[in-house]
A = this chain, B = another copy of it.
Amino acid sequence: MSAEFLSRWRERVEAALDALLPPESRWPATLHRAMRYSVMAGGKRLRPVLALAAASVGGGDLDAILPAACGLEMIHTYSLIHDDLPALDDDDWRRGVPTCHKEFGEATAILAGDALLTHGLECFCLHPAEAKYDAARARTAAAVAAAIGTEGMIGGQMEDIEAEREGAGGERSPARLERIHAHKTGALIRASLAVGGILSFASEETLRLLDRYGESLGLAFQIKDDLLDVESTREELGKATGKDVAHGKMTFPGLLGVEESRRRLAETVEAARSAAEELERGYGPLGDLARFVASRKS
């Protein structure tokens, strides 16, 4: 039943993204094409589905919340496009296809990222449009903006770059790695749960519990990502593998070893599932998503 929640909503997220993104035929066509290319290339749609799962806890109106939830995927895609740029991670492959700047050139990729960030935040300001969401809209947009600002996602990306520049001479510790990831990927995952919570008018207590769930889930997600980088092939993953090691990047397997990383993964997934159980009073979509994050192949 929970797996059904996942696949049903993932499909609806795809359809909603398609409806929310400007058509390719409309001016400026190249830019709209680049945005759609990167957003519609697939991906797990984890963040919108997390927002919807969080909203389902308090009986939120998932249909009404769907367009705002899609803003999370636009923002996630913006961060991927900019991270992949030559001046940053310089990646050629993403989601199984050439990265945005390989396909459209650097100028268009920079602008497509800017546009997805802008349109993503706009989604929270516009949806849901009903008057009862008046205060919630601005609160949601502000929560996401804070999560992806300098003290959130962008800050994590900055420290990630600095750690790579410092190389072997810099601080290389699990604490620094966790700080990078808590900001670079964790903050937006936590914000996704906050979006669902705020837009379903959850109590402060539920919001706190959702945040605890998101914190564990985000860490689990990143440990799994690092493990996939050493354990998968490019075909399975849709992007380059073994790249972290090649670039001397800090990773959980690199700092802790594969076995200890797996143990940490199991531990953080368990923490997420325990928070989910408290929220869902049993087994529901959030618990299922925690299991999915640990077992995914890409």
Answer yes or no: A161 CB below 8 A from chain B CBs. Answer: yes
Select one of B111, B138, B161 contacting A125, CB under 8 A.
Answer: B138
Q: Would you call A155 and B110 a contact (CB within 8 A)?
A: no
Cα–Cα, bound, A105→B158 (Å): 12
**B contact residues around A298 at 8 Å (CB):** none
Select one of B31, B118, B119, B142 contacting A158, CB under 8 A.
Answer: B31
Q: What are 12 A-B interface contacts by the 8 Å CB criterion?
A: A27-B151, A28-B159, A30-B162, A78-B114, A82-B110, A85-B110, A108-B161, A111-B161, A114-B154, A119-B149, A119-B150, A125-B145
Answer yes or no: A202 CB below 8 A from chain B CBs. Answer: no
**B contact residues around A119 at 8 Å (CB):** 145, 149-150
Cα–Cα, bound, A142→B122 (Å): 5
Q: Would you call B134 and A107 a contact (CB within 8 A)?
A: no
Answer yes or no: A194 CB below 8 A from chain B CBs. Answer: no
Q: Would you call B107 and A88 a contact (CB within 8 A)?
A: yes
Answer yes or no: A261 CB below 8 A from chain B CBs. Answer: no
Please name the residue on chain B nearest to A137 by beta carbon: B138
**B contact residues around A146 at 8 Å (CB):** 122
Q: Would you call B145 and A107 a contact (CB within 8 A)?
A: no
Answer yes or no: A254 CB below 8 A from chain B CBs. Answer: no
Looking at A125, A126, A141, A162, the one whose CB has the most chain B CB atoms below 10 A away is: A125
Answer yes or no: A50 CB below 8 A from chain B CBs. Answer: no
Q: Which residues of A are interface residues toward B (Cβ below 8 A)? A: 22, 26-28, 30-32, 35, 78, 82, 85, 87-88, 105-108, 110-111, 113-115, 117-119, 121-122, 125-126, 131, 134-135, 137-139, 141-142, 145-146, 148-151, 154-155, 157-159, 161-162
A contacts with B: majority SS:
helix
Q: Would you call A121 and B145 a contact (CB within 8 A)?
A: yes
Q: A108 CB to closest chain B CB, in angstroms? A: 7
New contact pairs (20) apart from A28-B155, A111-B157, A122-B142, CB-CB < 8 Å: A27-B155, A27-B159, A28-B154, A28-B159, A31-B154, A35-B150, A87-B107, A87-B110, A114-B114, A114-B117, A114-B154, A119-B149, A121-B145, A122-B141, A125-B139, A125-B141, A125-B145, A126-B142, A134-B134, A134-B135
Top 3 A-B pairs, shortest CB-CB distance = A122-B145, A87-B106, A125-B142
Q: Would you call A82 and B159 a contact (CB within 8 A)?
A: no
**B contact residues around A159 at 8 Å (CB):** 27-28
Select one of B110, B145, B151 contacting A110, CB under 8 A.
Answer: B110
Please name the residue on chain B nearest to A133 by beta carbon: B138
Q: Would you call B118 and A149 a contact (CB within 8 A)?
A: yes
Cα–Cα, bound, A158→B110 (Å): 10
**B contact residues around A154 at 8 Å (CB):** 28, 31, 111, 114-115, 118
Q: A72 CB to closest chain B CB, in angstroms? A: 14
